[in-house]
Chain A
């Protein structure tokens, strides 16, 4: 199954994003950052594509000056 993975510069920004997205009622997991994607900060956010609205997520994170990178990962 394919997921979207949000990667952040720092743990602080991953947790700030968790707080902001939770506030919007978005469902997601906090996961250790998949090493094949990045060795940036140790924590990432994984969202089911069915629950992911890129515009809403980008808008709130950009508004809070949070830099993030969007990746896709297929889980077996």
Chain B
């Protein structure tokens, strides 16, 4: 039996149309987009273009030429941070951030480029907007927060944070790695200046594709300089989006797979997918609460969370629990710190971490029942 509950690492299975779209690209017209004028290249370029248009519409970004493709959310976040921050800037993040945000910022801090403040969250992982308000300095340039926590499923009040940042004229970047595709995200109404996303989780594309959505008036300097298929006579890198942040050949197969993934969730209806996953997550949580030797983390039953539940079994190491679940019962989870040491400090599970169960739109009630039954057997 294979029960895959590690969808926050990467979602599996992928929808059939994602596999078909990638296969069709590789079989029927696998050219490099925008590098040559022939019809395969034009067709590939149109696929990339339509993917940008689709993502701009999904996130209500002002302009599709500010949808930038990267290899993953980590590269997207690094691109934004290193391309935006200058010496003397102050940055605020929360105590629920992933290492993809913490590590580049710690690097910039240790090199004397930026000042970094990390604001505390409550035990359920929520940022207190009042704490944020009290952390601003005269040189604060940027606030970065995760949207949906990869550890606890906690959903941050991004609209409220965006409003606060806007009122102070401070840029706001959202790490939507876990939320893009399941929670509504609206760049313009939520006052998000920069959105970093990955394609292979709740957007159901393959690994190796992610990106940024950037508001119109923000200039991010490129980390990479190279071929873009444009301005080829000039020996310096172009400054216009999207080419400025996309040196080198794109991951066309990944982009086409991502487009199919987005189409899949739109066809199913994002509301339907969200409702189904919330119901199943609540059901899972309510059953877990009935088991007496389990410690649960994150928001309590009744609060909306993304479909992630982390827990520990009393007197057991999370790594041992995950190993038994996989080896004895075929249930695949992720134990440990989930690349988020600060989040685990927030919920009190550092350094051993917790066992994380993460669902997707393909997870069934039968799989959850089976999992609950097997968790009960671990003592």
**Contact surface of A with B, Cβ cutoff 8 Å:** 9-13, 15-16, 19, 30-33, 39-43, 64-65, 67
Interface contact B37-A11, CB-CB below 8 Å: no
- Choose from A10, A19, A43 the contact partner of B242 (Cβ within 8 Å): A10
Interface contact B238-A9, CB-CB below 8 Å: yes
Write the nearest CB–CB distance from A5 to chain B, whole angstroms: 13
CA distance A6 to B230 in the complex (A): 15
Write the nearest CB–CB distance from B60 to chain A, whole angstroms: 16
Interface contact B240-A40, CB-CB below 8 Å: no
Mask of B237-279 contacts with A, CB within 8 angstroms, 1/0: 0101011000000000000000000000000000000000000
What residues on B are CB-neighbors of A10 within 8 Å? 34, 65, 228-230, 238, 240, 242-243
Chain A, residue nearest B36 (CB): A42
> Can you give 6 A-B contacts (C-beta < 8 A)?
A11-B49, A12-B48, A15-B45, A15-B49, A19-B49, A40-B230
Interface contact A9-B243, CB-CB below 8 Å: yes
Contacts A12-B34, A43-B42 known; list 4 others, CB within 8 Å. Answer: A12-B242, A15-B45, A42-B36, A43-B34
CA distance A13 to B238 in the complex (A): 14
In this assembly, does B63 line the interface, its C-beta being within 8 Å of a C-beta of chain A? yes
**A11 and B36 in contact (CB under 8 A), knowing A41-B229, A42-B229?**
no
What residues on B are CB-neighbors of A32 within 8 Å? 36-38
Write the nearest CB–CB distance from B68 to chain A, whole angstroms: 10
- Choose from B38, B63, B231 the contact partner of A40 (Cβ within 8 Å): B231
CA distance A4 to B64 in the complex (A): 26
CA distance A75 to B49 in the complex (A): 29
**Contact surface of B with A, Cβ cutoff 8 Å:** 33-38, 41-42, 45-46, 48-49, 52-53, 63-65, 216, 228-233, 238, 240, 242-243
- Choose from A16, A33, A39, A67 the contact partner of B64 (Cβ within 8 Å): A16
CA distance A73 to B113 in the complex (A): 51
Interface contact A42-B63, CB-CB below 8 Å: no
Interface contact B42-A30, CB-CB below 8 Å: yes
Interface contact A11-B231, CB-CB below 8 Å: no
Interface contact B230-A11, CB-CB below 8 Å: yes
Write the nearest CB–CB distance from B308 to chain A, whole angstroms: 35
CA distance A16 to B232 in the complex (A): 21
CA distance A30 to B42 in the complex (A): 9
Most buried by B among A11, A15, A32, A41: A11
Interface contact B34-A11, CB-CB below 8 Å: yes
Write the nearest CB–CB distance from B235 to chain A, whole angstroms: 12
CA distance A33 to B45 in the complex (A): 15
Interface contact A11-B65, CB-CB below 8 Å: no
CA distance A39 to B242 in the complex (A): 18
- Choose from A16, A31, A42, A64 the contact partner of B34 (Cβ within 8 Å): A42
What residues on A are CB-neighbors of B233 within 8 Å? 39
Write the nearest CB–CB distance from B220 to chain A, whole angstroms: 16
Write the nearest CB–CB distance from B317 to chain A, whole angstroms: 50
What residues on A are CB-neighbors of B243 within 8 Å? 9-10, 12
